[in-house]
């Protein structure tokens, strides 16, 4: 009986393995370098095409209404001072009336509070994505749906995105 044919190099006994010859290091052949310079940018372009960017879309009105209902704090306030550093907005406001506050909170009319939120640059009309939280104006009186900030004692953030501020007395 004859031994079976060993076609795969891995199936051969070590004494019969044929190793590839070492090629002396040297400059890349021009054709290979040209192919590399052409294919690498194409691969990067395809990778960007195949991996979708993070999607951002406007939320339905019911979501904003739910976020308003879930806001820990609802206040009527008057904007006293505004400072914008980069895209970070810091607003100092006077509380005119407390509509809702967490149990045990000492928040009351007449107090000053700080609001912090990001205010991105304006996008062109019909730009996809959620509406920006409005930039309040000094002296403006508005109802605000807010949540306290854990990392900034006494600080608050908008709770309902672009619908966090509305006319006084609005729902």
Domain count, the chain: 1
Q: Average pLDDT of 149-162? A: 90
Quote the domain boundaries for residue 95: 61-121+133-166
pLDDT tens sequence across 104-116? 888 999 999 999 9
- Give the global pTM: 0.62
Q: For residue 21, tell me if it sits in a domain.
A: no
The predicted structure's pLDDT at residue 43? 55
Q: For residue 38, tell me if it sits in a domain.
A: no
> Across all residues in the chain, what is the average pLDDT?
77
The set of residues, in sequence order, having a beta carbon less than 8 Å from that of 85 and lying 6+ positions away, is none
- Cα Rg of the chain (Å, integer): 32
Tell me how far apart the alpha carbons of residues 63 and 49 are, in angstroms, rounded to a whole number: 31
The predicted structure's pLDDT at residue 28? 53
DSSP string covering 17-56, please? --PPPPPPP-PPPHHHHHHHHHHHHHHHHHHHHHSPPPP-
Q: For residue 90, tell me if it sits in a domain.
A: yes
The predicted structure's pLDDT at residue 131? 74
User: CA 1 → CA 16, 100, 120, distances in Å?
Assistant: 21, 93, 81
The CATH code of the domain that includes 160 is 2.40.50.120
Q: Is a pLDDT exceeding 60 seen at residue 75?
A: yes
Q: Average pLDDT of 32-52? A: 54
């Amino acid at each position: 009986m004859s031994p079976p044919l060993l076609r795969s190099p891995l199936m051969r006994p070590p004494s019969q393995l044929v190793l590839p010859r070492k090629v002396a290091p040297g400059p890349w052949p021009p054709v290979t370098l040209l192919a590399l310079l052409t294919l690498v940018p194409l691969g990067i372009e395809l990778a960007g095409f195949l991996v979708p960017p993070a999607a951002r879309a406007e939320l339905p009105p019911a979501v904003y209404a739910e976020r308003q209902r879930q806001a820990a704090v609802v206040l009527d306030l008057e904007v006293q001072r505004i400072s914008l550093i980069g895209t970070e907005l810091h607003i100092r406001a006077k509380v005119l009336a407390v509509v809702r506050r967490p149990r045990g909170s000492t928040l009351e009319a007449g107090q000053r509070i700080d609001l912090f939120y990001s205010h991105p640059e304006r996008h062109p009309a019909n730009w996809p994505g959620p509406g920006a939280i409005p930039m309040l104006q000094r002296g403006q009186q508005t109802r605000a749906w807010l949540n306290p900030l854990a990392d900034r004692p006494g600080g608050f953030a908008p709770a309902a995105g672009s619908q966090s501020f509305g006319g006084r007395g609005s729902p």
